[in-house]
Amino acid sequence: MADLDDLRDGAKFGENIAQKTEGFFLKGCNNLDWGMKDRMSRIFNPDSGRSVMLAFDHGFIMGPTSGVERIDLTILPLIEHADCLMCARGILRSLVPPSSRKPICLRSDAGSSILTDLNHNVIIDVQDAARLNASAMAVMVAIGDADTEALTVSNLYNAVDAGQAYGIPVMGVTAVGKAMARDARYFALASRICAENGANIVKTYYTEGFEKVVACCPVPIVIAGGKKLPELEALELAYMAIQAGAAGVDMGRNVFQSDAPAAMIQAVGAVVHKDIKPAEAFQMYQDLKQLADATK
């Protein structure tokens, strides 16, 4: 039986103090449920409203491409500097320590490789994403590709339905086919279609006129890094995207294929969270690289 001795009446009701009703810090997310907001807050830093996501899901299509041959040797040392990790479930279960406490953006579609046509993917079971405590599910969409547009949009749509049931946000990843123009008009179209179908985050590519891509997308956008660039150029890319309104980066090759990946991800972090200009971030990269080289 409950202990009812000395049951005291409450006295501190704060009748004259209105309860605060806080807005949520990410655009388009105010009406999400608590679990969704909790997961979004793990991915995006509530102080800056931004995220450095480290993408190392490349092997799910490309196999052991440069930089991800040995995730344990090349990627794990970087994860302390990332806000969120993007990978496929096999790598997550086999190599990523659960004790790292990093939010996971789980690659949640599968079915393609570089040896066949891309994007004939199906989505994984949301219950497995829930078992893995995923903070988001990433699903690729191929807008403008006649063969796979409908399938990949329905993948996204179904992932959103499933994610909604478990409180797991979905990130729509805009694929770029060979025939598609990499311009603001295309990325605005692809990003908007992701958001209209319920994506809570959109991952796309930076391009000239990116302000328009961001402005017409009602949810946060992060950019992919794309192919490896010289470090200064990659930092410029991140800077321009952030200044145009991106909520972060989901970068892979420009980090793990760098000469100094740990220095690079920290420099990217300074651009993303502190609005550091590219030249200063590049200096930071060089200083950290020199330090790492000296202790080798």
CB of 125 to ligand 5RP, least distance (A): 20
b (16+ CB within 10 A) / e for 111-137: ebeeeeebbebebbebeebbebebbbb
Catalytic-residue membership of 203: yes
**Distance (Å, rounded) from C-alpha 122 to C-alpha 119?**
9
What stretches of 182-295 show up as alpha helix (H) in DSSP? Answer: 184-196, 210-215, 231-243, 253-256, 261-274, 278-294
- Contact range with ligand 5RP by CB under 6 A, out of 91-99, 246-254, 266-274, 284-292: 246-254
**Distance (Å, rounded) from C-alpha 197 to C-alpha 157?**
6
- Contact range with ligand 5RP by CB under 6 A, out of 16-24, 187-195, 220-228, 275-283: 220-228
Site for ligand 5RP in 139-158 (CB under 6 A): 140
Residue number with CB closer to ligand 5RP (201 or 276): 201
Residue 276 touching ligand 5RP (CB under 6 A): no
Tell which residue, 4, 46, 67, has the closest CA to residue 247.
46
List the catalytic residue out of 37, 102, 203, 289.
Answer: 203
CB 123 within 8 A of CB 129: no
- Contact range with ligand 5RP by CB under 6 A, out of 28-36, 68-76, 90-98, 218-226: 218-226
**Distance (Å, rounded) from C-alpha 45 to C-alpha 131?**
24
CB of 87 to ligand 5RP, least distance (A): 9
Q: Please enumerate in sequence order all residues whose Cβ is within 8 A of that of 5, keeping only pairs 6 or more positions apart, or say none.
A: none
Q: Which two tokens stand for residue 51?
A: 């995220």
Site for ligand 5RP in 71-90 (CB under 6 A): 86
Residue 207 touching ligand 5RP (CB under 6 A): no
Residue 246 touching ligand 5RP (CB under 6 A): no
Q: Which residues bind ligand 5RP (CB under 6 A)?
A: 55, 57, 86, 140, 173, 175, 224-226, 251-254
Active centre residues (catalytic):
203
